[in-house]
Structure 1
Amino acid sequence: MGEEDGTSDDRPARAPRGVRPLREGVGVTSVELFFDLVFVLAFIQVVELMDDDFTGHGVLNGMLALALLWSTWSIYAWLGNSLQTRVGLIRIALLFVTVVTLVMAVAVRQAFTDLRGAAISGPVVFVACFVVVRLVHLALRWYAVPDTRPRIVLVIAAPLFVASVLLLSAAVVPQRLFDDPWLVRASQTGLWVLAVIIDYGRALVMRSWGWHIISARHWAERHGLIVLVALGETLIAVGLTSSSVPMTGSLIAALVFAIVTAAALGWTYFDVVAIAAERTLIQNPVQRRVAYARDAYSYLHLPMIAGIMLFAVGLHKVVEIIKANELVRSPVQLEGLASYALYGGAALFLLSHVGFQLRITRLLKRVVLPRLITAALLVALVPAAGQLSAVVALGLLAAICVSLVVTEVLVASRQRRELREAALAGGFRPEGL
């Protein structure tokens, strides 16, 4: 989350003890993969949080929790693109952060309200973990990253302090001020909204974070892997939910439609646009990569992940409806918020990916219009989907997403072939490095 402002690119002759700078061409390390695995649980907990209170308010709370989780993941992605995480101090610190993030992920479902029988306040645990993870990052940044001037540390620390106070206030104050549960929930959500605005607004108003995208391969690969984590979460979540449902033809069909839809969404990301985006980063000098990385990856990947989470909630509801069908022996429609989550989540992912593509690459313009049309179609079909049985509605979504993939293959076949062959042959060459 940074932008060039003329900050010097000169690297120090000697790195601090226990630190080794990253090099161009280095990929993601096993330590970073281990850290990312915690976000499988974190994303599942976000879905469970929305599922526990499946209302507009509950979905908003889930998106707020996701926003803080994403900004936490993102700052360590930036850190990992400056320093090697497989050796020395950074490796130890990242493993420690993984432990704290695991506790934070478990606390996501209790980030607003304690579960019955809790001995320790879940909201306080979430905030405490959030603060620890951010402070460790700030300390590593101060110690190990070149060009981290005192002004940058202060500009990072001040909003972090304010956001942390707001989150802690949301955890302990409303319950003491109000007796009305609605006022408690509304004030909690309001304080969270302010905290998220401050957390993200800091990056928007700050001209420079002093970051550099040293390895384009590492950066693109890291974000591709977190998209895979999110897509994998949808399958894990629907699988866990389905494990308690009697095996029926409807359940098997729903599982097939779920994985087909997830695969189609993944195809739109990984097939060629991810390759073209990495090419853009590689072919730009280090000092010009930061704006692309901030806008296309740090910002526009958040609504992509949010769309996947909404899609996962919709899948939950489909499985719950299938289970209800076995009890009442009559078709149950995918009504209300469930149809918006299922179809709207897929549409949000596609729209965000179009924004990602337009921001970072002008290649493959032919696939933009089919994606926009598909997203508009999905939004338009939400009312109709609410009149269909849950399995049929999911099957229709799968068919639309597969049709999009087929259309893209047909309309951009030559560009797809050229990009994929260049990538496989290692044909992307940096310019100005």
Structure 2
Amino acid sequence: MTTSESAGIRVSTLELFFDLVFVFTVTQLADALAHDLSPRGLIDATLILTVVWWMYSGYAWLTNAVAPTTTTRRTLLLAGMAGFLVMALAIPEAFGAYGWIFGVSYLLVNVVHSVLFLQAGPAAVRMMRTLGPLNLLAAALVLAGGLLPEPWRHLCWIAAPLVQITAGYVHPAEMHSISAGHFAERHSLVMIIAIGESIIAIGLGFREVHLDGGAILVAVLALGIAYYLWWCYFAGDDKRAEHVLAGMSDPLRRARLALNAWGYGHVPMLLGIVVTAVGIKKTVGHAFEPLHWGPAFALSGGVALYLLGHAAFLRLLRLSGVWHRVAGAALVLAVTPLGHLVAMAQLAAIPLIMAAGAIAEDLPRIRRLGMTEAIGDFGRNAG
């Protein structure tokens, strides 16, 4: 596929449907982490998200090169969706009784990915001679982790993402003429769906809570946090990131940037969304009570992790706003003790800090355009 041929590719509705299936992982991870909010639970969630995201991102590369326009391709993509769905269903016991189910499903996802990628032409065949076996090795390690006892189980799980990270840098570069617009849009869509799915996960926590003033305030503040997570990614930086990627004339440099910024760089942001959702769920029904340190750290730590992940994303793309994100992360972490005093104080402080960061980031534009025009276009034409 040449750059000119790929320039007009946009995300299809089938790909969006695929993303909806994938993002069920976010709900399942948030639920699993809420039931085991411990260092071990966080490590397990990180390992699961890393290996699942690697293959989701692999499918984004896949449909960038092989459009799902034929019945055969759509059927194979449906098989991949089924694999992602069953993996998500197995997440609560991925390190226990359902480990083998997760592993078999993950192997299916990898096999379908390899088979479909071979339809992209001779260059893809050359690439898959290296990438395919490494992906299958990672899948075999995940499956082995589902079958073996400890400590081999976690050793296999840790080895799998290490193999995948290696795979990202050793496969040939011939098949790297990607469509920047399609690639960036695909990842943007999954981010907005993930943020939305986190709101659903939070909302489910209200089912057994009396809807009084405190509960309503928690819901509104949680929405404020979700909004500013959206703002960080979508208030212009997503389009600027796409332009940077599209401006890379060297196919290899473009591919390396796509791999680093979107492939690896989105993991901390997605994990931050998961952890933030857990922290908010833990405040439901306890708005005017002290939080235990675990939920308090989850609430601030999840937002901070998201901000640091986005800072890394901006840094890789050489875009502005890095230090605003880093400073925001530090301030959000600093208010963690407020939650240990009363949950509502921490929950209110976080969106206030993020709003202040958004205003500070917009100040140069406000000075340049004037207050009236800038306020009418607050958030750098966000939308």
Q: Does 1:221 align with 2:185?
A: yes
SS in 1 for 2:7: coil
2:281 to 305, 310, 316: 316
2:83 to 69, 89, 100: 100
1:371 to 312, 316, 325: 325
Task: Name the aligned partner's letter for residue 135 of structure 1.
Answer: V
Aligned to 2:27: 44
Residues 289 and 343, structure 2, Cα contact 8 Å, conserved in 1: yes
1:408 to 345, 348, 361: 361
Residues 83 and 145, structure 1, Cα contact 8 Å, conserved in 2: no
User: How far is the alpha carbon of 1:213 from its aligned partner?
Assistant: 4.3
User: How far is the alpha carbon of 1:173 from its aligned partner?
Assistant: 2.1
Aligned to 1:128: 104
How is 1:267-286 mapped onto 2 (pairs within 5 angstroms)? 267-285=231-249
Aligned to 2:220: 256
Deviation per CA, 1:339-374: give whole Å up to 9, x if none: 221111111111111111121144xx3x33222211
Task: Name the aligned partner's letter for residue 350 of structure 1.
Answer: L
How is 1:199-210 mapped onto 2 (pairs within 5 angstroms)? 199-204=164-169, 206-208=170-172, 210=174
The 2-side partners of 1:88 and 1:23 are apart by 21
1:170 to 141, 145, 160: 145
| Structure-2-length-normalised TM-score | 0.90
How is 1:176-255 mapped onto 2 (pairs within 5 angstroms)? 184=150, 186-204=151-169, 206-208=170-172, 210-255=174-219
SS in 1 for 2:229: helix
SS in 1 for 2:8: coil
Classify 1:38/1:286 alpha carbon distance in 2 versus 1 (closer, same or farther; 3 Å). farther
Residues 130 and 172, structure 2, Cα contact 8 Å, conserved in 1: no
Count of residue pairs brought into register by the alignment: 374
How is 1:27-42 mapped onto 2 (pairs within 5 angstroms)? 27-42=10-25
Task: Name the aligned partner's letter for residue 332 of structure 1.
Answer: E
User: How far is the alpha carbon of 1:25 from its aligned partner?
Assistant: 1.9
Deviation per CA, 1:59-80: give whole Å up to 9, x if none: 1101111111101100000011
Aligned to 1:90: 73
Residues 38 and 102, structure 1, Cα contact 8 Å, conserved in 2: yes
Aligned to 1:137: 113
Structure scoring higher RCO (CA < 8 A, sep ≥ 6) equals 1
Q: Does 1:68 align with 2:46?
A: no
SS in 2 for 1:242: coil
The 2-side partners of 1:237 and 1:231 are apart by 10
Residues 308 and 346, structure 1, Cα contact 8 Å, conserved in 2: yes
The 2-side partners of 1:81 and 1:162 are apart by 24
- In the alignment, structure 2 segments of 5+ residues that lack a partner are none
Aligned to 1:110: 93
| Structure-1-length-normalised TM-score | 0.80
The structure in which a higher percent of residues are helix is 2
User: How far is the alpha carbon of 1:286 from its aligned partner?
Assistant: 6.1
1:298 to 255, 263, 280: 263
Classify 1:210/1:317 alpha carbon distance in 2 versus 1 (closer, same or farther; 3 Å). farther
Which is further off, 156-165 or 296-305? 156-165
The 2-side partners of 1:304 and 1:251 are apart by 27
Residues 168 and 259, structure 2, Cα contact 8 Å, conserved in 1: no
Task: Name the aligned partner's letter for residue 132 of structure 2.
Answer: A
User: How far is the alpha carbon of 1:207 from its aligned partner?
Assistant: 4.8
Deviation per CA, 1:81-122: give whole Å up to 9, x if none: 1122244432222122112221111111221123xxxxxxx1
Task: Name the aligned partner's letter for residue 385 of structure 1.
Answer: L
Which is further off, 227-236 or 280-289? 280-289
Residues 78 and 211, structure 1, Cα contact 8 Å, conserved in 2: no
Q: Which has the larger radius of gyration?
A: 1
How is 1:383-422 mapped onto 2 (pairs within 5 angstroms)? 384-413=337-366, 414=368
1:155 to 130, 135, 156: 130
Residues 238 and 316, structure 1, Cα contact 8 Å, conserved in 2: yes
- In the alignment, structure 1 segments of 5+ residues that lack a partner are 1-8, 12-20, 115-121, 175-183, 323-330, 425-433
